[in-house]
Structure 1
Amino acid sequence: MKYRHFLAILAVSQTALFSTPLRADDMSSETVVATVNGAQITMGNLIAARGTLPEQYQTLGSEELFNGILEQMIQQEVLRQSVGEPDKALQIQMENETRAIFAGAALENIAENAVTEDAIENRYNETYANAEPSREYRAAHILVKTEEEALALIDELNEGADFADLARQKSTGPSGPNGGDLGWFGKGMMVAPFEEAVEKMDVDTISEPVQTQFGWHVIKLVETRLQDIPSLDDVREEIKSQLADAALRESVERLVSEATVERVDIAEKDAVKDDTLLAE
């Protein structure tokens, strides 16, 4: 199947056209748009194929899109006919493709039913209705290997050394070249000892040495701010994704638990790598 994308998706069709162009009012999914050695290609086939195209093709003009998809389907049909009756390997591949298509359709239905406007608003209210603005911090740090090194740095800072210069010279962390600046971060974004130390600090002060799994930190709290509660529109896509993911997990787990699944104990699992079995 590695050549499945070889066909020219947007080639201009050279096939013969119907003598009388059909109007939109005359069309349905059953409308035949071409025949290949008697095999019909319908408008429904083209519409379904369009839905599987990469996003960059979806914005093409209607005529270019129509001709490109039709040409690809004509090429696919002549190649299909050239194969004749499918061998065992192809039959198995067709079974897998059919299973995947049905599973994909089921997943889309589950997600669509779960992501309603009411569900989105309810999730937003549950998450943010009673929420208070969260505090964010901007800090810099100098990371060293030992507590002794950290204490020596604090002595230098107390004597007037520039924090950013020391970070560039002494810090072993990736923020060192940037003067130790960590930018803005909120709760849960830093490891617990670091976060707990920052929360207790006043702006423009230096911490005592703080140990984490990365080493010893000397922290400078630069500034803080309150992060406003986001509007529904700000988090709509995030909520939609959360609702869909939760519904998909729950549905798949439920359907599997309700199904009669009998797994066969296969001792020779290397067989999954044996392509010759497809011919047996």
Structure 2
Amino acid sequence: MMTRRYLYWLIAAIIAALIYYAWAQVTRTRGAQKVSFRPAEEACDTSGSLRYCVYRDRRGTNGDVVYHMHGRNLDERIWNDDTYMTALVQSEWQRRPELPPTVVTVSYGSTWLLTPKGEKPDSGLLDDLMARLPAIEAKIGRPRRRLLVGESMGGLNVLIAGLSYPSRFAKVAALCPGVYSISPFASLSTIRATMQRTGANPKIVFGVWMMARRYAANDAEWQRVSPLALIKRAGPAYPALYLSNGLYDAYGNFEGSQQLVDMARRRGITTQWHPLYGGHCATDVASLAAFLSS
């Protein structure tokens, strides 16, 4: 009798699992919304451990070069992806009469952070990147102006590069950048309080914490690249800034981005701030495209 009862429960469980699987297959998302645009001409190359792709609009370019630094788990070929934000930027440029800049997407892999050489073996990418730019520009042509744009991890990287070498860049656009009001070397209680205050996802914050400690050995090394530390030495001659962040960013970056904007404005830096009602890397594409092409 007991064996028969267990058999009934087993059959019921199998039927329930099949129904759940069938419903999941019926209701799963299929396909993706694609952007209607003309992909830029692409030419890719390497320089040491740096991989990069050069993108030029088929109508021509305006003489500026935008160095694009991608988000985590992406690569140097993302600019022409017709399901990504970068395709929307190109689509916006193609609606305008003026020519857009040349774009160079650079990458050291799926996950990387620009830091000066320090105690960590993986540190030193900031030095490496800046040393390689002249060779890249010898191939693609000397730019009228250099600009930076990056999202998420790339947003942090462009702030580090632009605020560390302000004379080399005219503009910096940082979208949903990994800017925090605290250090990754702060106490656990401070990190927990920040997550509570910003609504950051603990799993994501742990990943950011691990990444930061891969490239910085201690808080002193972190302060060499923290945008909130770098901005304290800035002045009106620094690159113009464009920052945007979604209010409900699961990375908890809204607070730090807003603090950076306030500090930049107090120091006389031309700064655009685009707080958005949305999540991580929600972007006002029209204003971003205008900032990069003007």
Q: TM-score, normalised by structure 1?
A: 0.22
Higher helix share: 1
Larger Rg: 1
Q: Which one has more relative contact order, counting CA pairs under 8 Å at least 6 apart?
A: 1
